[in-house]
Amino acid sequence: MPDGIVLATHSQPIVASDFLDSFVTPFPADVGHADNKHEDEMERITMPRCVRCPDPSYNDLARRNKINGASVLEVLISPAGVAQQIRPVRLLGYGLDEQAYDVIKTWRFKAVTLKADGTPVPAIVMIEVTFRLY
């Protein structure tokens, strides 16, 4: 304010979490996106496949507001087939993005491999988690 008058103040604590940290944690520079490879690279690698992928659960807030939609996350899949790092890309809100984040941490994948010799390699993929009330 020009006169130095404070009209109101508000304080809201923000609790740090893995989910919030994921927005600012960069992916390793030497790991590429498996789904954005050029044609010649696509011929050299396999795409990852989810082998154990339980659905996330709805929370009460989202259910009460009848929220449907999708949360999109980038996921770094390790050579062991584990979601090593997750970054939200498109948010749905109502706590559902956190639900998607938490459940993807438990997923197991058949990792990206080199077609030439079957060597597992790390890769980043986009995953869309759909929330639908029936």
Length of the chain: 134
* pLDDT (tens digit per residue) in 4-31: 787 788 888 888 899 999 999 999 999 9
Q: What is the CA radius of gyration of the chain?
A: 19
Instruction: Report pLDDT digits (tens) over 70-82.
Output: 999 999 999 999 9
Cα separation of 57 and 92, whole Å?
A: 14
Using 50, 70 and 90 to split pLDDT, how confident is the model at 38?
low
- Cα–Cα distance measured from residue 86 to residue 89, given in angstroms and rounded to the nearest whole number: 10
Distance from C-alpha of 72 to C-alpha of 21, rounded to nearest angstrom: 17
